[in-house]
Amino acid sequence: MAEFTMELNDEQKEVRDWLHGFAADVIRPAAAEWDEREETPWPVIQEAAKVGIYSLDFYAQQYFDPTGLGIPMAMEELFWGDAGIALSIVGTGLAAVGVLANGTEEQIGTWIPQMYGDANDVKVAAFCSSEPDAGSDVASMRTRAVYDEAKDEWVLNGTKTWATNGGIANVHVVVAVVDAELGSKGHASFIVPPSTPGLSQGQKFKKHGIRASHTAEVILDNVRVPGSCLLGGKEKLDARLARAREKARKGGERVKNAAMATFEASRPAVGAMAVGTARAAYEVALEYAQTREQFGRPIIDNQGVAFQLADMRTSIDAARLLVWRASWMAINGKPFTAAEGSMSKLFASETAKKVTAQAVQILGGNGYTREYPVERMHRDSAIYTIFEGTSEIQRLVIARTLAGMPIR
């Protein structure tokens, strides 16, 4: 087990600097254009693939970093560049985590490479969990998966929404209900291979922020997938469902479902994304305050501005430390006894919203225009308190964990 440290080692620093350079030289110059276009920035993703950032190997190296700091460090630097483009680059990772968390070794080796493609033919993947009537309330999920034993196929029907890369993905990972009587305990995850009949894109959403990231509905109309596409396999699913039925009969504690397992693994990473956006806005505001003069002196000489910057930097550093702690705990198998993963996501996402708003205020009228990037950063930051569990859900998870109550 790696000891917890607040100091990156030499190799990590080298990777951080490399990512920072890519974010500064490739992502930032393209940010405003793709925000306006509201389209997937395929040329930027391809550039990321060419240098090795958008690849299974890079993701795996960071994911299995024994300190736990590889992923949060990478997320912070990329999202420092631009949240929308960065999410287009890393969005496939949520589907990959879903397979890593629930799949067999064969499934991991078969499907994750197909999620990324290669530098000459980049692909993306989508994780499909939320539904029009089931966002935070995963127990209300209506998408069904029925097993056709004669053909050893699963038949999926339903509508997913808010899916990053939904409909344009090469591989979709879909969470569906296999036993409605068990509520959220009766869910399972399925791989939908490329070009599977019956899967189509529904509405593409025009969003307030992260506009360069494709978000859409996914329609599943009698989608048939082989039995081998059930993540973890049917034997494992049957055993899990049997335990859940037995616990339900005895009134025992709840068990985690596939979607929640994925979200728990990814929440500190979302916190790191928020830290990156907050840090970017803070740096713009700091430079502006040092160079903008009013009444014959830089505005940072005014206590009202200086104190805001002090609070911004303090909150950013505190958020990063919570993210790093949760990431270290996760990789080293330490249980989140106080919901540390949700803590990190909650604090970092709220910090991003507050810091970007303060940055707009420090820049004044300039901050409200698209001539300066803090306007875009402020719009982008709103998503962190919403996706992968709203701030309200994070508080619920933390409160229930502290109280020793089951988390539904």
Q: What angle do CA 123, 272, 85 make, to 5 degrees?
A: 35
Q: How far apart are CA 341 and CA 209, in angstroms?
A: 24
Check if the beta carbon of residue 155 is closer than 8 Å to that of residue 145: yes
Question: Which ranges of 52-123 would DSSP assign to H, the alpha helix?
Answer: 56-63, 70-81, 83-90, 92-102, 105-116
Q: How far apart are CA 376 and CA 118, in angstroms?
A: 31
164's CB contacts (< 8 A; 6+ apart) are 87, 91, 94, 126, 127, 213, 214, 215
Is 131 among the residues known to form the active site? no
Q: How many CB atoms lie within 10 A of CB 61?
A: 16
Q: How far apart are CA 364 and CA 261, in angstroms?
A: 43
Backbone angles phi, psi at 21, to 5 degrees: -65, -40
The residue from 76, 77, 264, 388 that is catalytic is 388
Query: By three-state DSSP, how is residue 164 classified?
Result: strand
Q: What single string gives the DSSP state of each residue in 291-343?
A: H-EETTEEGGGSHHHHHHHHHHHHHHHHHHHHHHHHHHHHHTT---TT-HHHH
285's CB contacts (< 8 A; 6+ apart) are 309, 312, 358, 359, 362, 363, 374
Q: Catalogue the active-site residues.
A: 388
